[in-house]
Chain A
Amino acid sequence: MKIEQLSDGIFEVIVDDKKILVTHNLCPGHSVYGERLIVVDGVEYRQWDPNRSKLSAMVLKGFDIPIEYDSHVLYLGAASGTTVSHISDILTDGLIYAVEFSSRTMRDLIMLCEQRPNVIPIFADANKPRSYAHIVEKVDVIFQDVAQPNQAEIAALNSKYFLEDEGHLMLSIKSRSIDAVSNPKKVFKEEVKKLEGAFGIEFEILQRKELDPFHEDHLGVLARLFVDENLKQQNSFKS
């Protein structure tokens, strides 16, 4: 079997003439949500289904994934931990803070956390980053998959608190949860515009692509926190 590395910790295996996205399994022998385990050269990998995970779809759509082996990641909207488990696979020397606000899915997430030493569960509302500001440190990447009408605001607020200078923000925008009726393209445009500076924090949009056919009416966005160099110099001068 041929295996090729696409980005840190993310691989592509060719099985039966089909390309399959996989991550290196952090706890071998365990399948988290019933995904296929594939062994290549004695190393176990877990299949990463783009139809279930927006991040996986983003990889296949050609995004440059900013997550590295030793990144610290804040994941908003962790749900049962499907995608979280794969990021945990990637972060062999990193850490992921998984924020979720539903007690039903938190139950599954905690069970996942107990298996994986690099996942930290936080039961909190992503709308109120201040309520977990005493727990989360500065992170390199924020991944957001919350499907809320005020998605952009949530992303901006959390970035203000927790994103490192020039850190990356990845988000999947679900147009239907923002406005179920109007045209998705229009919704995407407005949301991206909001990110570019409506909440007192600026992002530089690096990549944006719709996630079809894996997820309908979803837009994947990769952005970098924009830091004003002049302002930064002033601040360092002060201290």
Chain B
Amino acid sequence: MKIVAWFGRLTISENGKVEECNLLAKDPELLAAHMLLAAGSEDLPPYGLNLRELAIDCGYVELEEDYDVLLRDVCIRAAKRQISMNDADDKRIIQAVEAMDDIDKAANELSERLTEWYGVHFPELDLTGESMARFVVNFGSRENVPENHDMYEKSSTSMGSKLSPLEEDLLRNFATSLCGIYDTRKYLEQYIISNMDIVAPNLTNIAGAPLGARLISLAGGLEKLAFFPSSTVQVIGANNALFKHLKSRAPSPKHGVIFNHPLIKGAPWWQRGKIARALASKISLAVRMDVYRGKFDPSIKEKLERKVESIRKSYPKPPKKFSTKITPPGPRKARNRSSKRV
């Protein structure tokens, strides 16, 4: 029987003795490379072999300690190589999506603070978010607003308190960093849009770059997303609603993050579930195309559009609302049992 071990190739007789051995040099880098290659080999050892004994039998190492030290060194090197190879494009997109979430959270909080603080000085200013931050960066105190500016009248008759120079500096600084955050968000968005086209062209075509990126992020990778059934794609991001549905008699969620797709968002409520199902199935198809074929195929989108059109035609009017309580799915058996006990 031929086997491959991390230290070389061996031929073993039936009673477990080494007949022939082709050992590798004791160079950790070489051994690490061999270790990674061998993981896909067909001659991997079967059940019940003791590699340590074999290594000593064939004279590769003399002492058990040598075996430990060498193996550890090689394994660390091999694992390091694997990690540096593991850095895939979809992982970067996940980082970018998550960074965008963090930025949204931070920007929201900071802009709220700016509104509060600057509002003491200029309460009549009805700007929010980014435009407000830009305003503060440009003018600082409201006295600096020029006569030809829209806000001039409001600023000259404002009931707000005066701003000290120190405070003005502070607020300007604060607003500058906030603007920086908004800029970073724009860069991130551009990055995601341009990279999604490369990483998953079909998915981007169907779902759009931001939604596609979010799906990848929620699934934890492009390949994982490809493994999901389309029913999972449909409700991904609606975890709470889904578990509520599975645990109790709550209705099942119609859509998770794919709700943000214009096809669903723009549809009337009675079509949304149907469109969500169609969209999810096409997203699944597109992702699998991206992962396994890597070719761009515009026909998926055409089919989706046809399907959505037929849904719209078949259900032009809202159904009558149920007067009686709907009996949704759920673990009914368990319910019955517990009610008997009572």
Residues of chain A whose beta carbon lies under 8 Å from any beta carbon of chain B: 95, 103, 106-107, 109-110, 113-114, 117-124, 130-138, 160-161, 180-181, 239
Contact = CB atoms under 8 A, between A and B. Distances in A.
A236 to B, nearest CB: 11
Given A113-B79, A133-B46, 8 more contacts: A103-B82, A110-B76, A110-B79, A123-B83, A134-B5, A134-B44, A134-B51, A180-B243
Contact of A239 (B15, B71, B243): B15
B45 A121 contact: no
B223 to A, nearest CB: 13
A130 B80 contact: no
B247 A181 contact: yes
Contacts of B44: 130-131, 133-134
Contacts of A239: 14-16
Contacts, number: 83
A123 B71 contact: no
A133 B45 contact: yes
B328 to A, nearest CB: 15
B34 to A, nearest CB: 9
Contacts of A121: 75-76, 79
4 residue pairs, one from A and one from B, having the closest CB atoms: A103-B86, A137-B52, A123-B82, A123-B79
Contacts of B78: 123
A138 B49 CA distance: 7
A124 B243 contact: no
B79 A122 contact: yes
Given A107-B83, A110-B83, A131-B44, A120 B38 contact: no
A181 B331 contact: yes
Contacts of B87: 103
Contacts of A160: 47
Contact of B72 (A109, A119, A124): A119
Nearest to B7: A134
Nearest to A116: B72
Contact of A134 (B15, B35, B47, B79): B35
Interface string B31-57: 000010011110011111111100000
Nearest to B86: A103
B72 A134 contact: no
22 contacts: A103-B82, A110-B83, A113-B72, A113-B75, A113-B76, A113-B79, A117-B69, A120-B76, A121-B79, A122-B75, A123-B82, A132-B39, A133-B45, A133-B49, A134-B4, A134-B39, A134-B51, A135-B51, A138-B52, A181-B247, A181-B331, A239-B16
B45 A134 contact: yes
B198 interface: no
B246 interface: yes
Given A120-B72, A124-B39, A136-B51, A103 B83 contact: yes
B68 interface: yes
A131 B72 contact: no
A113 B79 CA distance: 11
A132 B36 CA distance: 9
A158 B44 CA distance: 14
A181 to B, nearest CB: 5
B4 A95 contact: no
B3, B39, B79: most-surrounded residue (chain A CB, <10 A): B79
B15, B45, B47, B246: most-surrounded residue (chain A CB, <10 A): B47
B71 A110 contact: no
Contacts of A123: 78-79, 82-83
B76 A134 contact: no
A124 B82 CA distance: 10
Contacts of B50: 137-138
A135 B326 CA distance: 58
Contacts of B122: none
A110 B75 CA distance: 10
A97 to B, nearest CB: 8
B6 interface: yes
A161 B75 contact: no
Contacts of B48: 138, 161
A161 B247 CA distance: 39
A103 B44 CA distance: 24
A128 B17 CA distance: 26
A105 to B, nearest CB: 11
A124 B40 CA distance: 12
A60 B173 CA distance: 54
Nearest to A128: B39
Given A123-B82, A181-B331, A239-B16, A135 B47 contact: no
Nearest to B84: A103
Interface in B224-247: 243, 246-247
Contacts of A132: 39
Contacts of A137: 50-52
B60 to A, nearest CB: 13
